[in-house]
Structure 1
Amino acid sequence: MRRFTRALVTAALATTVVAGTAGWASGTAQQAVTGAPVGAEVWRRDGLPDPERTSPADVAAFFDGLSPARRQELVRAHPSVVGNLDGVPPRLRYQANARTLDGQFAGQQVLAADPRGRGQVALVYGDLTAAAHVAVVVPGSDIDAGNVRPLTDMAEALRRATHGRTAVIAWAGYTTPVGVGVDAASGDLAEAGAERLARLTDGLAATRAAGAAEPSLFCHSYGSVVCGLAAHQLKAKDLVVFGSPGMRAASVGALGTDARVWAAKDPTDWIDRIPNVRFAGLGHGADPTDPEFGARRVPADDARGHNGYFAPGTQSLRTFAAIAQGDVR
């Protein structure tokens, strides 16, 4: 009887996740963009390494073996592949993406640009190859190539807070939920995003100097679900989640990562009203800021709302910067 009662309570909570007062029923269904970059078929026909079967480390080795002239030939002939292939040297990716974007994001360092669906993009602030430290900001719902400003604001704030010593990637590299509907309550889009995020960190490991520090990942809202599902594959020194609905894991130990795991939630964040349950594939599980989860707590009492963690002067931003630079133990 007690088990049956718990099941009923869980079902009721899951229903709240989907249709509760926080507005979980307001989103629209999205189809995840996956697979090889645009132009991959022609790339393969030219006898070049299969983008889906070649690891970022092997991609890096392939490009290392090319002459500068041959590299430029590939940029001109296959810009949409070169610009989106993890393991390609970043500067070549910037050149390739500048050719395909036709002035969009002009003057910016574009590490990835996928026009399919709502569009995906990754922008880099700083010298990704030479910087002593790298941070990746992984966003939540509603971020895409046409609505990237909330993400770039976070990335730029983090770079300023590190006084320019950390290269920061604003990574809108997966299909995010729109609104807070069933997509945001399920893990489907996060699973597709997790694969892409893991390849990103593999590519960073392959293209940065030997012995360089692994990146710190800053994962906002639904982005923390992506980071949770990818955790066991990520080459990262820190996973920092904030405004998180859960990471699809019961504890830090269940994430299967050697990275340090940090969590922040301010008292005014509406995410705190979302039940931390999982039922029938909906909901994302334990609250990462719960002491029993085992994450290191990031102070965030002076942040405001769901999007206020990178506001100038906040404890959360100062701590994020210290984490990115390896200044906290």
Structure 2
Amino acid sequence: MELSPVTAQTTDASTGVVDTAQSGSKPGRPAESVRCRTNSRHGLTDLSRRSYPPVESVCRALEILNAVNKLRIASINGLYEETKFPKSTIVRMLETLMSEGYVARDNMCGGYRVTSRVRELSSGYEGISRIIEVARPLAIDLTRRTKWPVAIGVMDGDEIAIQFWTGAISPWNTDSILGLRPDMEHSAMGRTYLAFCPAAERERHLARFRADPERNFDDSAERRFRLLLEQVRSEGYAQRDPRTWPYRRTTFCMPIREGDTVHAMISTSYFTTAIPKHKLAEQIIEPLRCTTTKIEEAFAFMNSGGDLVDHSGDEVEFGF
């Protein structure tokens, strides 16, 4: 698997069709025989592979909408320069978008503009952070190599929410943990976040622990926990408290950071009887650390204006 800022090229094993897409241009369109199990438990991360050829009119309408949004105030000539579509097609697409309420003719400014209704197109996207998009193919690759399930959690208010999980492609699959909220004190993700988040944020959470009568977070427990967080910061990872989940399974977790900001936490879970302690660094910790570093680099690249393309083409359960 490779992430590229410029091009993506995929080849269908059954047809030999090569599909190439470049940043800023429309993706190549594979032959009709390319298959995608869109209605099954698993889907494809290679979004250029489709079940059927795309509907040209829909593609053109979306490109016109994108061009109007880009140009702010778009004239017919401006849209022609941007899309190279025939002007008659541009007019028909604009009229269609106007009838649906996504575009309006602005006679004062002499062109077309998008309306506030375009915001509805992103309303279902609010719960999925950008970091999950970047981390997804790399987390999949980690599970492909190590076979162990990987989870990614982000902060949701004062709690962690697991928003992505690769258990569907792990041979050691268990019940789905998507949507679960790990405990901040005892989970590997909670400990990771508290160890690496800004000090003021950490103190706020510890104050909540002290005020919670069910936690029994007295002075002695707080001192031990602070020492634990120092150890997590020193080692770069946290492990789940085995007392809260006394099974043969445990979890290691690391932060996905940008400067002092912790964007997410990524963890690997495994059976303690499957890996000797002297093999943990080689089989669990270092692969997780390498993946975390790649995610941070990819996220920084995308924030700088780059365009990441997923080359993996692996099948995974859609976790969001």
Q: What's the TM-score once normalised by structure 2's chain length?
A: 0.26
Q: Which fold has the larger relative contact order, with Cα–Cα distance below 8 Å and residues 6 or more apart in sequence?
A: 2
Q: What's the TM-score once normalised by structure 1's chain length?
A: 0.25
The structure that is strand-richer by fraction is 2
